[in-house]
Amino acid sequence: MRLWLLFLWGLALAQAPKPLKVGALTGESLYPGGRGVAYGEARLVAQGLGLSLWQGGGQVALGLGSRVQAFPVVAEEARAATGPSAWRQGDKVYVPLRPLAEALGLEYRAREGILLSLPWARLLGVERGQGRLLLRFSREVNAVVREGGVLFLLAQGEGEGLRQEALGLFLPLESPPDRLYYPGGNRVALEWGPLPRPRPLVLLDPGHGGQDPGMTFGDLKEKDLALDLARRVAARLPGSRLTRTGDETLPLEARLEKAREAGVLISFHLTQGSALNLYLPKGRTTPLAKSAEALLASVTKERAGLLKAYAGDPRLLAKALEEALGSLGLVVAKAEGPYALLDIPGAGVILEVGVERLKTPEAKEALAQAIARGVRAYLEGP
């Protein structure tokens, strides 16, 4: 009986509030639900370590540079530590400290109390460009715009115009940046001037390649014909890219990784005869892809142009290509299927060209020109 009482007493002590030190600030850590998970008040944690803090919509999020950790907020103690979730007690919101530390790269130590800290970041370099500054540190940092410049919290270093202060590294500026953001890789970007309009990436994918020749047509191989056609189309679409530029083996996973960044994707393949076939995806799975078609149908032409940099409608792309090829008197057949390469947010199609359509250089040029015209019509259209 005595041992059991001692166990309960020790357990109660383990779950009792403990001292919490966050940077230079102090508070207490709580253990909702008695599950042994230490929680600290979100505002105290943010202020003590210079973290970003957002609250709303039933969530709380803390950020350090490009790294962000969000938690759903619950009021019940028993639910708080099982998620883990943030816990609301009165007008304060508490967050689980160890999961937060792991997500943001903070130092977490538990002894008589909880110590949460962040080592000072070192400035590693500054890149200066037209209307742009890019600062790179030894870890992610937060930056705040204040009168006369920008303060990089808990950072230290030396450089032209930089000044060390108690809270971090200060960069004096004649005018505040129009944009401050965190592109990842422990970097902070400052930019001035109008925001450049994003341009959709047009990605042209010559099928097969390397050890995979595709179909053969006498002395001709599908991989070579597809690459030749893709190059001709790319020459008419400045800024477009190819998934492969030579005779190389490119697995589906590598193609798909590139395709996910594209606003427009055309994968070129060859077949017998003179057919022209367009294959479209059936049932795209990403949330952005699912909503893109409805969004493009409901927004203005200008907004549609911006959206196409990130997502697209393969049916609209197929229609534009069909009309452009139709101007040459060519008839296009269309079909849908579960094509893995086309399960992307952007507008992706597979274009299968009959080898008879590529007999002469003039025929190849005319076909490439029509394909490029169809891509431009899609990008410029509503």
Kindly state whether residues 32 and 180 are assigned to the same domain.
no
Whole-number Cα distances in Å, 181 to 106, 141, 187, 301, 336: 21, 11, 9, 28, 40
213 and 168 part of one domain: no
DSSP code for 172: E
Residue 106, in any domain of the structure? yes
Per-residue pLDDT 10s for the chain (382 aa) are: 444 433 333 434 346 889 999 999 999 999 988 878 999 999 999 999 999 999 988 899 999 999 999 999 999 988 887 878 999 999 999 999 999 999 999 999 998 899 999 999 999 999 999 999 999 999 999 999 999 999 999 999 998 899 999 999 999 999 999 999 998 899 999 999 987 778 899 999 999 999 999 999 999 999 999 999 999 999 999 999 999 999 999 999 999 999 999 999 999 999 999 999 999 999 898 878 887 877 787 778 877 887 888 889 999 999 999 999 999 999 999 999 999 999 999 999 999 999 999 999 999 999 999 999 999 999 998 7
Q: Do 375 and 324 have their domain in common? A: yes
CA 102 to chain CA centroid, Å, is: 21
Neighbouring CB atoms inside 10 A of 298's CB total 9
Is residue 158 situated within a structural domain?
Answer: yes
Does some domain include residue 238? yes
Report the relative pairing of strands 121-129 and 132-137 from DSSP bridges.
antiparallel
Distance between CA atoms of 243 and 259, rounded to whole angstroms?
Answer: 8
Q: What is the CATH number of the domain that holds 233?
A: 3.40.630.40
Note whether 98 and 159 are same-domain residues: no
Domain contains 108:
yes
Query: How many domains does one find in the chain?
Result: 3
* 72, two tokens: 């759903």
Residue type, 160: E
By C-alpha distance, which of 16, 186, 12, 35 is closest to 98?
35
State the DSSP code for 76: -
61 & 126 share domain: no
Residues 227 and 345 in one domain: yes
Looking at the fold, whether 211 and 306 belong to one and the same domain comes out as yes
Q: What is the DSSP letter of 177?
A: -
pLDDT in tens, 214-240: 999 999 999 999 999 999 999 999 999
Q: How far apart are CA 325 and CA 369, in angstroms?
A: 9
Q: Which domain holds residue 113?
A: 18-117
One domain, residues 185 and 277 = no
Specify burial of residue 352 (Cβ count, 10 A radius: 0-12, 13-18, 19+).
Answer: buried
Query: Which helix (H) or strand (E) element contains residue 362?
Result: helix 361-380
Q: Does one domain contain both 59 and 151?
A: no
343 and 241 housed in the same domain: yes
Say if 3 falls within a structural domain: no
In a domain, 136, yes or no: yes
If you search the block for the tokens 């799975």, which residue do you land on?
285
In the listed set 146, 161, 191, which residue is the last one of a domain according to the structure?
Answer: 191
Instruction: Evaluate whether residue 74 is within a structural domain.
Output: yes
Q: Kindly state whether residues 63 and 98 are assigned to the same domain.
A: yes
**Distance in angstroms (rounded) separating the CA atoms of residues 296 and 313:** 8
Instruction: State whether 231 and 357 are in the same domain.
Output: yes
CA atoms within 13 A on the CB side of 342: 25
